[in-house]
Every structure is written in structure tokens, then in C-alpha cells.
Chain A
Amino acid sequence: MENRLNRYVNQTFLIVDDFMEFRHSLKRMIEGMGGHEIDLAASGDEAVESYGKKHQDIVLIDYNLGESSNGLQVLEELRYKEILRHDSIVILITGETSMEMIQSAIDVNPDDCLPKPFTKATLKTRLDRAYEKKQAMKLVFQALNDKDYLKAISCCDYLISKKSKYTIACHRIKADCYLRLGQPADAMAIYDVILERREISWALLGRARCKIHSSMYVEAIADLDRIIDVQKFSVDAYDQKVEALLAIGDYENAYKVLQATVSISNNSAVRQRKLAQLAIRYHHYETASAALRKAISLSKHSSAKKPEDYLNLAQVLSMIQGGNLGAASRRAPSELSRLLSQMHNEFAHNIQLGLACDIHAAVFLYMSKKTKEASIKIKQAHLKLEDLPDEFKPFLLDEIKFAHRVCPDLDGITALYDDFYANTKAKEQESDLEKASAYNNQGMNKFRDRDYDSAYKAFRSAHQNAPENVNIALNLMQAMTKLIGRGKDQPDFSELLESCARAMQSLANNDQRKSHFKLLFNHIRSHVVGRKVQQRQD
């Protein structure tokens, strides 16, 4: 029978630490508790590989893993790849509790943070505590593993009704599930009850998220300012505030807040990308290039590596080269040529990126006053683009637009622009946030009245006016789902779905809307694909 003394005998362990002595000392402690199936990993990569294969029950991971990565980044990657099981116990071991660490710990939410030094007895009490919680809430975590959020909610309700020791944790998970199901009103009700008792940051943050989810941006900002007032290091609050500010078109404040956020925590590639975009808007190319370099190095080893980052950096370097920025302008050409060859190597199989690189190489030649070679390069690219069977990726279109803007008098560029960019959807999609907001409100009213046809049309217009707004994209997808349910799907669903997916790329990994998005996305896609197959058979 399982008891406090032998409970770890049948558990599997993964110890992650870059120091050999520490790995072995931890291993001895675990052995002292009866554990014997223990895997050791010396780096983040080894840890991801080992966990990916064996899904150990208990993971002990050091925050400090040397130069390349840290424990939280490893956990983030596991969560991002959706291999981290909710019933695994994850204990983060920390040498010190820095601001940056604590803040990202809130985002990744390990089961416990254990500060060094600790004795075997402390480790055992902490493990026991986490173990008992996982056992008591076993059904909840199983449901979460299965992404069965409704079941997770009902399991939580059961524990709450039994006055479980973990009642508050259950409420928190419940609210989170409602957000994942796209039911912000239900989540909000839970947060409200908690907040009546106490202003706890996760509940305040959750409620702000509900408000953003319901497109109540101004109200959300008021809530977020209350968190920031007390906890000026709450990165999550800053991130949400940036989203809300962007949604109402206040780019200037969004840029300010984002800069403050990055100075607190600079380990999120998504955040660095947003900063780069805003810096470009305000022509702060040095800030932009630093942010993009950081984004590239952060996503280098993970599955989130993006060709767009490299291309954007190339564009920014060209702006620096052409600008009057002293040493930075003089350094730009050599960095740029290194970057272009790095792109050829790292994305050798990405044909569209290769073409974008070719166009950018022409820009580079043009900037270096080699107009003749630049023109030849552009014309070669033109021919290759003509042979491209696939639809152009947004980054390729973006590069064409960029080249046209910075080399307006380059021989061949106008033809390239007219043939491949001028008539595309990308040109039509210029954002107008006020219009978007009006259409979105109209859509929400129609949706409430169950007039899904009108709601769909309104959300579609809203989306076209604010292609980057996540909530509008989700609203549109909800309306699409309703229409599918009534057999009234439209021919443009497939294209819209792709465009909605693009809006979702700006979401942080821990954002609950990702789950809601995936749910809707899979539903709509399976339908759209099904319809295509049917058409072919007809």
C-alpha cells in the first residue's frame, strides 16, 4: 500500500542541473526517499529530450542552467510544445529570487519554487506537499491533460463542494478553463468573488484578461493599472496593458509600456517582436534591431524559430545603413551580409524566404550604391517569383513592399511591386481601429441576438480593419462556427481562417485564448477541409 514512506518507490524522476555535483547530490537525496528510476540532464536540451520520451512523474529543475538557457525557459518550451503533463510535479530550484525569475515563474507556474540551500528533509516536505495536491486533484489534472475543460470544471466543482483543502486552487483552475472555453463572463464571476475578499494579483490579472477578451479595453486598463500600482514588476499586467493600448490605437503609450516591460523581463521572444514593431513605427531602428536580435537568440533553440524575425532584422539593418547613425550605420553592412548568409543556411528549405533574401540582397546592393547589380538581382527575383506556384507568404509580400519603399528608383522594382504586391489582399488590409471597433460592437450585438449571419459580416469587416486584433479574430471564428453549425458556411472561410491564425501569432504562450483559438480553429478547419474533399468528389 502507498504511504508516506514508500510513495516515491514507483515514481520516475528527472533531475536537471548543469552542475554535476549538484545533480548527484540531488540524486542521492531522492534515493534516500526510495526513488530509483532517476534520469539526469545537464542542459535544457537534454531535459526536453528526456521528458519528451519518458514524461517523468517528478521533475526537479534548476533555474540556472548556464549560459544557454534557464529552467523556466525549458518549462516554457515543454508547455509550448504541449508535452508537459498537468499531473507531473515540477519543482524549480533557485539559487536566488531575482525579479526576472519570479515574474516568469508566475507565468510558467511550477508546482513549487525551492530555494537553495535545502536539506533532504525540506525537499521531502515540499515533494510530499506537491504530491498530495496532485493526488487530491488527480481527476482535474487528467481532464486538463485531455484538454477536456468542461470535465475539469466539474471535477473542480466536486472538490469545492467537498470543502477540499485545495478550494482556492480549484477556483483558479475553473476560471482558467472558462477562459480557455471562450466564456469570459463565467470566468469573471469567479474572479469577482475572489477579489471581493482580496486583491490577489492572479485574480486581478484574470479579470483584466476577461475584460480584454470581451473587448472592454479601457476598463481592463483601469484594472491593470491597479496591479501595476502595487506590483510594479508584474510583467503579465504590462503585457496585457500593451495589448489593450494597441487595440485602442494608443501606440505611443503601448511603446512606452512595452519598453518598461522589456527592461524588467527580456526573455520573451513574442514581447521582443512587439517591441521591434513599435520601435520601427517610431523609426527607433537601434532599439528595433536590438529587440530582433534578442528575439532570434531566444527562439533559436525552440520550435518557435521564425523567419520573419531574420527578415525584419535585415530590413532594420538596411534602415540603419541608410540612416545617419554613426558607428551603427558603418557596422550595419557587415552584419547584414552575415545575416543574409545565415538565413540561407538556417532556412535552406524555405523557398519563399530564399526569394525574400534575394530581394533584400538587391536592397543591400542598392544601398551600397551598386545600382546595376541591384537591378539585375531584382529582375532575377522577378522571374523566380513568376514561377512560384504557392500563394505568397505575408513576409514575402512585406519584403516586396519594403524594397519598393526604400529603393523607389531602382530599375525593375516598380514592375515587381505592380505584378506581385499592388493587387494583393495585403494592400487592402490597412488598419482603421475606430471602424474595427464599431463593426466589432455591431457584431457582438448581432451575435447576442443570434443573428449569426449579420454578426459574421460585421466581425469580418472588423477583422479586415484590425487584422492584428486577437479578440476580433476570435469573435469572427465564433460566428463562423455558428454558421457552420447551421449549414450556412461561406466560401471565404478557408482564407479567413488563415488570416485569423496570423492574428494569434502575437499571443504569449500562456494566454488562455490560445486554447479557445485551437478549439475553434480545429473545428472550422475540419469542416473546410471536409468540404473541399467533398467538392473534389463531386
Chain B
Amino acid sequence: MDNQPNQAIDFSSVLASAVHDMKNSLCMLIQSIDTLSVNQQDPEQAKELASIHYEASRLNTNLLQMLSLYRVEKDQLPLFVEEHHIYDLVEELVEKNRFYAQSKAIDIDVCVDEDLEWFVDANLVGNLLNDVFVNALRYTKDKIRFDAKIIDERLHISISDNGNGYPQHMLNSNELPMQELDLGNNRTGLGLFFARIIASAHTNKSRSGEIKLANNGQLGGSVFTLILP
């Protein structure tokens, strides 16, 4: 028998399996909040529930990102690219966050052609956009707008708001190579890292995807753009 009491624990694997378990609990939690919200008449309570829902979904997004990054490290990130209607993807994001948007009276405008189809991994891109959208919900004044169009054979999806825009150090990150991104920064450190990985995993004919951050967009605030070949 090989007895190796000192065999090192693969900590990242332990963490991944713990995260997996947390996600299951979170899953039940979010569903319960959902059920409570539907029957809630008192506007104050409804607002409180909406914000619990918001925080729980954020937690879920973070856990999802961690799991995906773990897979990237293990070189096992599954990419399941198929044709999808971009409108459906966006509609689902808006639906997911409806309570919170309503409770904060944020106006959401979806300017996406219903027939627009593109080749994406719907779950990964959905998570990526959800993270950006959730941040926009937090930082906007009262408007968010989704756009999607094909420019030069590439899909451009952008999320703009009328908040104060990205701080300068985040705009600078546009140019930074992946390993120099500041993961400790609390606005979208991890999210940005995740977004870049997902974008660049989408390739077509030797072109790969990218993300762009900008200010002074259509609504006056920040604009996040995901570009997929």
C-alpha cells in the first residue's frame, strides 16, 4: 500500500467543490426570495427583498466566475458555442434583475433586433453580461441601455448607463495585459478578468473576442462593449 500522509491537498480543487456546494444552497435561497417577492404587498418590504435578491445574485455571479476561472486554470473551461438570438440573452438578463431595477426605478431600454443571431457560449456570455449589468444597476443614475449590432463581421454588444462613468484606472485597464489587471480592486477586478478570458475564448477565423470600456456614451455615462468575432 502506498501511504502518503503528507500528500499535499489540492486546495483549489477543495475550494471548487466547496463553491459548488455553496451554489446549491444559494440556489434554494434565491428561489425562496423569489417566492416571497411575488406575494409581497408592502413596498418597503418589497424593496428590502429586492436588495437581498440583488446581493444573493451577485454572490452567485462571483461563485460562477470562480468556478470558471478554476476551470481555466485546469485548462478545462468548456466552451459550447452555438447560434443564439442575442435578444433572448438580453431579455433573460433584464428578467433576472427586474425586481431590483423596479425597486430602484431604473429605466431599461433594449435596442436589439429580435432576429439577430450570433455564435456564442450562451451561459458564459450570459454570466459575463450579467455581471456588467448588475454593476451598471448599482452605478447608474436611472437609465441603462443595451445595444447589439454586427460591425465588420463582429458582434458588438454594449451596455451603457447615465452614471458617473468608469474611474480612470479602469479605463486604463483597456490597454493592460491580462496578468497586470488589479484583481483586488473591488468594482470589477475579478469580473473584468473573467470578461476578458471569456471574450478571448471566442474565436473565429483567427480573430478573437475582446472587451472595451469607455465613458461619455449615448446616455452620458459608462459604456461596456463586448466584441465577438
Contacts and interface: CB of A to CB of B under 8 A. Distances in A.
B123 interface: yes
Interface in B16-30: 20, 23-24, 26-30
Contact of A97 (B115, B123, B203): B123
A125 interface: yes
A32 B26 CA distance: 21
A125 B97 CA distance: 13
A307 B213 CA distance: 62
A168 interface: yes
B81 A95 contact: no
B119 A97 contact: no
B83 A113 contact: no
Given A117-B31, A122-B95, A106 B80 contact: yes
Interface stretch (A49-57, A199-207, A285-293, A359-367): A199-207
B79 A231 contact: yes
Mostly, the B contact residues are: helix
B147 interface: no
B55 interface: no
Given A119-B30, A165-B114, A168-B83, A95 B23 contact: yes
Contacts of A95: 20, 23-24
B27 A117 contact: yes
Interface string A20-33: 01000100100010
Interface in B83-120: 83, 85, 88, 91-92, 95-96, 98, 114-115, 117, 119
B222 interface: no
A98 interface: yes
Contact of B80 (A25, A102, A129): A102
A126 interface: yes
Interface SS, A side: helix
B26 A122 contact: no
B203 A230 contact: yes
A202 B81 CA distance: 9
A169 B83 contact: yes
Contacts of B95: 121-122, 125
Contacts of B91: 125
B75 to A, nearest CB: 9
A143 B35 CA distance: 40
Residue in B23, B26, B60, B83 with the greatest tally of chain A CB atoms within 10 Å:
B83
A384 to B, nearest CB: 46
B189 interface: no
Given A119-B30, A165-B85, A198 B205 contact: yes
B31 A113 contact: no
A318 B98 CA distance: 65
Contacts of A230: 203
A495 B88 CA distance: 54
B83 A200 contact: yes
Contact of B78 (A97, A116, A117): A97
Contacts of B78: 97-99, 101-103, 233
Contacts of A394: none
Interface in A445-467: none
B96 A116 contact: no
Contact of A99 (B76, B81, B82, B92): B76
Given A99-B78, A199-B204, A115 B30 contact: no
A279 to B, nearest CB: 25
A111 to B, nearest CB: 12
Nearest to A169: B83
Nearest to B115: A165
Contact of A119 (B23, B34, B79, B205): B34
A116 B205 CA distance: 33
Nearest to A168: B83
A493 to B, nearest CB: 43
A96 interface: yes
Interface string B53-84: 00000001000100100000000101111110
Interface residues of A, number: 38
Nearest to A194: B83
A119 B96 contact: yes
Nearest to A116: B27
Contacts of A118: 27
A120 interface: yes
A120 B203 CA distance: 33
A119 B99 CA distance: 12
A320 interface: no
A400 interface: no
B106 to A, nearest CB: 17
Contacts of B34: 119-121
B33 to A, nearest CB: 9
A125 B88 contact: yes
B206 to A, nearest CB: 10
Nearest to B117: A168
A54 B94 CA distance: 35
Contacts of B38: 32, 120
A129 B88 CA distance: 8
A199 B202 CA distance: 11
Contacts of B29: 117
A327 to B, nearest CB: 12
B87 to A, nearest CB: 10
A311 to B, nearest CB: 34
B183 to A, nearest CB: 23
Contacts of A117: 23, 26-31, 60
Contacts of B123: 97, 113, 115
A32 B37 CA distance: 14
CB-based closest 5 A-B pairs: A117-B27, A102-B78, A119-B34, A116-B27, A168-B83
Interface of B: 20, 23-24, 26-31, 34-35, 38, 60, 64, 67, 76, 78-83, 85, 88, 91-92, 95-96, 98, 114-115, 117, 119, 123, 203-205
15 contacts: A25-B31, A97-B78, A97-B80, A99-B76, A101-B78, A113-B123, A117-B27, A119-B30, A119-B96, A121-B98, A129-B85, A165-B85, A200-B119, A201-B81, A202-B82
Given A129-B85, A168-B83, 7 more contacts: A101-B78, A102-B80, A103-B78, A119-B96, A120-B38, A199-B205, A230-B203
